Structure 1
Amino acid sequence: MKKFLASLLLSACALSGLAQAGMVDDVVQRGTLRVGMDPTYMPFEMTNKRGEIIGFEVDLLKAMAKAMGVKLELVSTGYDGIIPALLTDKFDMIGSGMTLTQERNLRVNFSEPFIVVGQTLLIRQELEGKIKSYKDLNDAQYRITSKVGTTGEMVAKKLIGKAQYHGYDNEQEALMDVVNGKADAFIYDAPYNVVALIKAGAGKLAYLDEPFTYEPLAFGLKKGDYDSLNWINNFLRQIKQDGSYDRIHDKWFKKNDWLKEME
């Protein structure tokens, strides 16, 4: 009986040790934090004219890696396949402007949100005044676009289901359909649309800037890794209290110097 109890105790200790091992422990031991991201979402993650991935979320991740004492490695991944890539160990976590949705939460765990945004619309200039909200687009005569695999696509199909929908692999293609008059509206997160209006609008687009969805963006991890979630959530609380978050946020959302790097 004593031998049996001792065996159970050793097994419990072993299981306890396995339970405590997680993404953060692996990252610290490896010396590199690998983050999956689709670098096409201005101003969160994007590729500048020198081929470097820059942006608001990138800077948050750099601060996170520094706090861990490791290097940051960004793994470019198509957005529609980014969750399967996480689940098959292509990288350690998702940091790609991902909205925390209940559907996605069934497959991955999420940190606390690091920012909240909402879906807005860029429409053809000619429709300004006629189209006053997403509800006005819910008609078969209109053609709307967005990036596939995003909440923009989900919302388009759910709230504007009567309109013709066409999804694209990246935001730029979807947006240019509206700029070139081939589509009537582009649906996407407000921060991206603000920048897109400046860069591509040029009198061809009108911006309906009232968000009509609630979109908390968060980091995605494999399910069950609660120790790593605890570390990331505490990191986010710390930088929001010590001023680091505000400095990073203002650099990308209250200034536009970075736009010169995208020309």
Structure 2
Amino acid sequence: MIRKDLLRLSIGALALAASCTGAAFAQASGAAPSASPAAAPSRLDAVIARGTLRVCTTGDYKPYSFLKADGTFEGIDIDMAESLAKSLGVKADFVKTTWSNLMSDFLAKCDIAVGGVSTTLERQKRVFFTQPYMVDGKAPITRCADAAKYQTLAQIDQPGTRVIVNPGGTNERFAKQYLSHAKLTVYPDNVSIFKQILEGKADVMVTDASETLLQQKLNPGLCSVHPDKPFQYGEKAYMVPQGDVTYQQYVDQWLHLARETGQFDSIRDKWLK
């Protein structure tokens, strides 16, 4: 027992001596004691102090985000953004953007971007994504009478096929990568684009499976083609500023709780069922 006590005393003495020696060296050399770097301000604090959550959204992508004639937005992600703002004790301020300008507008004007945004590695280079809230993928939508003709990419990617696509997002990139032989039309209005197929001005569009399911309900005569087996794997998530882990973790936790408590399911079903 005495040996153990002596050993503890010896170790303590050595530690104290090392500490004193280090302090003495620092004092002799004129070096200032090291201090922990101050944490960078978080967007979380800025949003709360401002009293508003600035939300970038395109407003042209049902069921996620749609700009109504009265100037207000509606959809799954609009309700979710309102929920996030409420959790922070602030108001949601929606900023209209386009798919082509989504990244630049988000970086300059917004705290979060919502509205059916697909996660991509290219976007990941400039922003953080939250955890995904929906798994999705690209699927065709066409006139029901032509559904059997457009089951595969090979069937669609033919010179005689008129493919239509909205500009600036993952739909356009997908079409240009995989449908190089088809006749491709970039149509500027993502709201009325499906009418072009219904009216026979285009044959098919490849977009997110969730959108094809909604549009076949909104446009009788159009059919979603194997939405349960999309051409590629995809995810929907929210864009938040790169590098701000504190803010990202708050949004992730809010989203996690919304999904686990059934709040997200309730909002999703409101717009999809």
Q: TM-score, normalised on structure 2?
A: 0.82
Letter in 2 for 1:150: G
Letter in 2 for 1:220: M
Give 1 or 2 for the bigger CA radius of gyration.
Answer: 2
Give the Cα–Cα distance (whole angstroms) in 2 for the partners of residues 80 and 156 of structure 1.
15
Structure 1 residue 69: deviation in Å? 0.8
173-182 vs 112-121, which moves further: 173-182
Give the Cα–Cα distance (whole angstroms) in 2 for the partners of residues 67 and 145 of structure 1.
40
The 5-angstrom pairing of residues 64-75 of structure 1 reads 64-75=84-95
Structure 1 residue 119: deviation in Å? 1.5
Of 78, 100, 103, 1:58 maps to 78
The 5-angstrom pairing of residues 27-176 of structure 1 reads 27-88=47-108, 90-176=109-195
Of 198, 208, 225, 1:179 maps to 198
Aligned residue number for residue 243 of structure 2: 224
Structure 1 SS opposite 2:101: helix
Answering whether residue 269 of structure 2 is matched by residue 250 of structure 1, we say: yes
Structure 1 residue 43: deviation in Å? 0.9
Residues 161/93 of structure 1: CA separation in 2 closer, same or farther (3 Å cut): same
79-88 vs 170-179, which moves further: 170-179
Higher RCO (CA < 8 A, seq sep 6+): 1
Structure 1 residue 49: deviation in Å? 4.8
Please, which runs of 5 or more residues in structure 1 have no aligned partner? 255-263
Q: Where do 4+ consecutive residues of structure 1 move more than 4 Å?
A: 1-4
Give the Cα–Cα distance (whole angstroms) in 2 for the partners of residues 167 and 147 of structure 1.
6
Structure 1 SS opposite 2:251: helix
Answering whether residue 39 of structure 2 is matched by residue 17 of structure 1, we say: yes
Deviations 1:208-228 (A, max 9, x none): 133222221111122111111
Structure 1 residue 173: deviation in Å? 4.1
Give the Cα–Cα distance (whole angstroms) in 1 for the partners of residues 224 and 116 of structure 2.
21
Of 252, 256, 265, 1:233 maps to 252
Letter in 1 for 2:175: A
- State the aligned residue count: 244
Give the Cα–Cα distance (whole angstroms) in 1 for the partners of residues 247 and 189 of structure 2.
30
Give the Cα–Cα distance (whole angstroms) in 1 for the partners of residues 161 and 200 of structure 2.
12
Structure 1 residue 198: deviation in Å? 2.3
Q: TM-score, normalised on structure 1?
A: 0.85
Residues 242/125 of structure 1: CA separation in 2 closer, same or farther (3 Å cut): closer
Give the Cα–Cα distance (whole angstroms) in 1 for the partners of residues 224 and 257 of structure 2.
35
Structure 1 residue 179: deviation in Å? 2.0
Structure 1 residue 31: deviation in Å? 0.8
Give the Cα–Cα distance (whole angstroms) in 2 for the partners of residues 50 and 129 of structure 1.
40
Q: Percent of aligned pairs with the same residue?
A: 27
Aligned residue number for residue 226 of structure 2: 209
Structure 1 residue 101: deviation in Å? 0.7
Aligned residue number for residue 258 of structure 1: none
122-131 vs 228-237, which moves further: 122-131
Of 211, 216, 222, 1:197 maps to 216
Structure 1 residue 234: deviation in Å? 0.9
Letter in 2 for 1:44: Y
Structure 2 SS opposite 1:224: coil
Structure 1 residue 37: deviation in Å? 0.4
208-217 vs 44-53, which moves further: 44-53
Give the Cα–Cα distance (whole angstroms) in 2 for the partners of residues 146 and 104 of structure 1.
20
Deviations 1:186-224 (A, max 9, x none): 121122222222223x33x33213322222111112211
